[in-house]
Structure 1
Amino acid sequence: MKISDYELFEVPPRWLFLKLSTKDGRVGWGEPIVEGMAKTVRSATSELIQRHVLGRNPLEIEKLWQRMYRGNFYRGGPILMSAISGIDQALWDIKGKEMGVPVYELLGGRIRDKIQVYQWIGGDKPSELGTDAEEKVNSGFKALKMNATSEISRIEPPAFMDKVCDRVSEVRDSVGKEISIGIDFHGRASKTTAKKLAARLEQYEPMFIEEPVRPENNEALEKIAVHTETPIATGERMFSRWDFKNLLEEGSVDIIQPDLSHAGGISEVRRIASMAESHDVGLAPHCPLGPIALASCIQVDATSRNAVIQEQSLNIHYNKGNDLLDYLSNPEAFEFQNGYIEIPKSPGLGIEIREDYVREKAKENVDWHNPIWHHEDGRLAEW
């Protein structure tokens, strides 16, 4: 068996799909994407496949992963690791289908029957969240996530902090204490403001606070942690086990959030999950992406004892025009019941891609980029 061909499809709302084919007709799907940099990742994915994958045995996943990573003098980073991630997902999909088993069986077998998922509420600039939260809970979700704030300066007055707390209070009052609420700082705050917000938000008992500072400033997490008992989560902008190594050793993070389309795919995130378990740190894979990325996450969740919850993008504010289930001929694979998703039993990644629909949507002009925000004085603000 040899890899003989590949195709890449940029599709709305902001995703990039990879179809990897073997000479004997076996097909695997992956999702190599950096949101807002699809064309760049598309080029990197093509280059890696042509140099390291075409003509080779797709069942030798680790050998190919090592070639793609170590076969380049310059390694890591969002572009190269996202390209490797999508290729890795497609290789596991092929191998699972060839063996007639879900990917998790090839990773040692599942340890759970289902994984809890959370639902996003609100948008980039959160407002009027109570009603939205109540609707999501009434539809069965037991965990929610919201953005804490929009633009935020290095130092903010008490009134600003009050507004943030009021939004979280509105959600907590709407859904009660039976529901978990994650609060995403999105790396928008300085350590100064993050310390204050973390302390003030503790009264609402968040499930976690996410990316209280940008990953470049992860050394500040230790200082933030002493101001709160709320679990600290981060990791969506970290791209390999080496990026996570120091973070785990420092001991200031409670939940890591590697992205299966950014952090080396199934192969690497499985290793990162094991590293985290050895440091008593939970796993909650980042996934505001498409169905292939989510299917890959679930395969890792199925085998990881420290997996606590799974992000998914159904009805997220980014998904305009197309949503998570549109590209599947078996949307029941992602049926959420009582806040959980069942671990799939179908071979490979457990999903069936509507290839004709993918080809149709790939004809559209997809050019998503994240917003550029500014403060009142004209300075660039963190999105």
Structure 2
Amino acid sequence: MRIVDIKEKAVSIKSTISNAYIDFSKMNVSVVAVVTDVVRDGKPVIGYGFNSNGRYAPSGMLHDRFIPRLRDAKPAELLNDAGTNFDPHRIWDVLMKGEKPGGHGERSVAVGTLDMAIWDAVAKIEEKPLYQLLADWYGNGTPDEQVFVYAAGGYYQPGKGLQELQDEMRNYLDMGYSVVKMKIGGSSLDEDLRRIEAVLKVVPDGGSLAVDANGRFDLPTAIDYAKKLEPYNLFWYEEAGDPLDYQLQNELANYYKNPMATGENLFSMQDARNLIRYGGMRSDRDYLQFDCALSYGLVEYMRILDMLKEYSWSPRRCIPHGGHQMSLNIAAGLGLGGNESYPGVFEPFGGFADNIPIEHGYVKLPDIPGVGFEAKADLIELMRTVAK
């Protein structure tokens, strides 16, 4: 059992949208294909992976460091004890050989991209959906039948006024979502409040709307927003300040009693643990948004979940960033609280399986081996071009 080839391609997902910090005019992602010599249904098993939006394609690191390490490893170093499948944990150790601790930077994105492809291949070899494999190996054998998802949108965009913002949010509700999210921090506080109040006119109530500042605010600004947002009783107030400014997050909790969310830009178990230790996050109401595709993959995500248990946090408080099928599988298989969704944005990477609708804010997963990329026609078509 061997990995016979590993290929990578940077794919553009550029658009005219922007959040409070960046625009997406030059955004791209890496797509990888890990080709094995294992045959299922008469074809070699190929595992696919990609990195989440918001971080650029880590092509250089993949080709300079991580793919060569995987290619140079002895086959036995990559397999489980029985030699019947690849071992993602051992492969993670191979990828990280020679890497010093700390300074996680963008290397976590490169490793997370490969890790996704490895898990896709492993589940395909086992001939199980990844969510079922995770439930069998690490849970009680019974995955969640459906997963809560919310529609992330409400970006700033040229020519997009209040009417267009309202139309966008109505469309998400019509698609079956029960919670929508919009960006804040890219305008003045007064303008953002007008935008929020416009959306509140079309959603059922404040609990159907989350807002996301993308780390834009200093503490005084974060507090100013908190005081104005609190009466709306929103679903959550997300990433008010820099993701590594744990003191800001801690202090903000003194001014905002309703749920907050952060964590999508923390890329290791150690950084996640520092958030729990020092960030003032409240396990009875706040949400954690760690994204496996940006943070060294599922192997590291399981370390994060183990750490959270030590601090008495339920995995149901985790709703990962990214809006991709990998996190959806993790949510169903390991019992998380839900997953982000990007309807109509960052295509073809955003969204889930074709022909499985969103119903009352929940989505089911396809019953096919692997992550389920083959159930999303435009995505698997692109991925197969990388494997050629």
- Say what the alpha-carbon RMSD is for the aligned residues: 2.7
Distance 1:323 1:63, change over 3 A: closer
Aligned 8 A contact 1:11 1:361 in 2: no
Equivalent in the alignment of 1:4: 4
- 1:146 maps to which of 182, 200, 213: 182
> How far is 1:346 from its partner?
1.4
Equivalent in the alignment of 2:69: 51
Aligned 8 A contact 1:11 1:358 in 2: no
**Distance in structure 1 (CA, Å) of the matches to 2:279 and 2:143:** 26
**Pairwise mapping of residues 162-311 of structure 1 onto structure 2 (< 5 A)?**
162-177=190-205, 180-250=208-278, 252-253=280-281, 254-277=286-309, 278-280=311-313, 282-288=317-323, 294-305=324-335, 307-311=336-340
Equivalent in the alignment of 2:150: 118
- Report the TM-score when normalising by structure 1: 0.80
Equivalent in the alignment of 2:33: 19
Aligned 8 A contact 1:144 1:179 in 2: no
> How far is 1:53 from its partner?
4.7
**Distance in structure 2 (CA, Å) of the matches to 1:61 and 1:298:** 18
Q: Structure 2: give runs of 5+ residues left out of the alignment.
A: 14-27, 39-43, 80-85
> How far is 1:79 from its partner?
1.7
> 1:9-31 CA deviation, whole Å, 9 max, x = no partner?
22231322100011342210111
> 1:279-319 CA deviation, whole Å, 9 max, x = no partner?
3361010105xxxxx121012101333x2231122213xx3
**Distance in structure 1 (CA, Å) of the matches to 2:105 and 2:61:** 11
Distance 1:270 1:299, change over 3 A: farther
**Distance in structure 2 (CA, Å) of the matches to 1:178 and 1:204:** 5
Identity fraction in percent = 24
Distance 1:337 1:350, change over 3 A: same
Aligned-partner SS, 2:148: strand
**Distance in structure 1 (CA, Å) of the matches to 2:6 and 2:45:** 12
Distance 1:251 1:181, change over 3 A: same
> How far is 1:361 from its partner?
9.2
Aligned-partner SS, 1:216: coil
- Report the TM-score when normalising by structure 2: 0.79
Q: Structure 1: give runs of 5+ residues left out of the alignment.
A: 152-159, 289-293, 364-383
Whether 2:77 is the aligned partner of 1:42: answer no
**Distance in structure 1 (CA, Å) of the matches to 2:2 and 2:291:** 28
> How far is 1:166 from its partner?
2.2
